[in-house]
Amino acid sequence: MNRTATRAALRRRAALALAASGVALVVSGCGAFSRAEPPVCPRVVVLRDTAQAVQIEPGAKDVTGVRFLGRIADAQWTCDADTDDGKRYLDVALTVVIDAERGPAAPDATATAFDYYVAVADREQTILNKQVFRSDLPFPANRLKAGSKEELSIRVPLPGTSTGADYALLIGFQLDREQLEFQRGHSR
């Protein structure tokens, strides 16, 4: 083979190799372009007025009547997009961390429970859905504090072109009037 033929053969091989690698890049890139963007999760807000709950003896006027004090210590979440019957949803995996302390009016109590809520609100702060859950907290006799991690699944409908950014999950304790009044009068 002469030099000109050798050079031509090398150029053809190089062109074929380049074309093959280009096809491989295009084919491998197709999956990257077809993947959906990760969904935008709703904001999660622990509401300050209901972020703690005090369980009191009936008629208690001061802190000596406190049986238990509960706090929503943390909330963590992730979400995934879903379609069901042609409708779009966000499925939010939510973990609510609740801490509790035994008060002076419950020295021998071995357990308590706190009711808390998760509400879905839109941009105008209209409550679209609210669910109440119960957290049971055992208190060993020698402990003043206890805690729990409550794992929930919340489904948020996405009508039209809405996204998770259009919604918020609001979290707090479900308080009765007596608890709310006591807390407002004795807030820390």
| Coil/strand/helix, residue 176 | coil
| Coil/strand/helix, residue 167 | strand
| Coil/strand/helix, residue 10 | helix
Digit-by-digit pLDDT tens for the chain (188 residues) are 555 555 455 455 544 444 444 444 444 444 444 466 778 999 999 999 899 999 989 888 888 999 999 999 999 999 999 999 899 999 999 999 999 999 999 988 999 999 999 999 999 999 999 999 999 999 987 899 999 999 999 999 999 999 999 999 999 999 988 888 877 776 65
Structural domains of the chain in order of their starting residue, each with its CATH number: 43-185 (2.60.40)
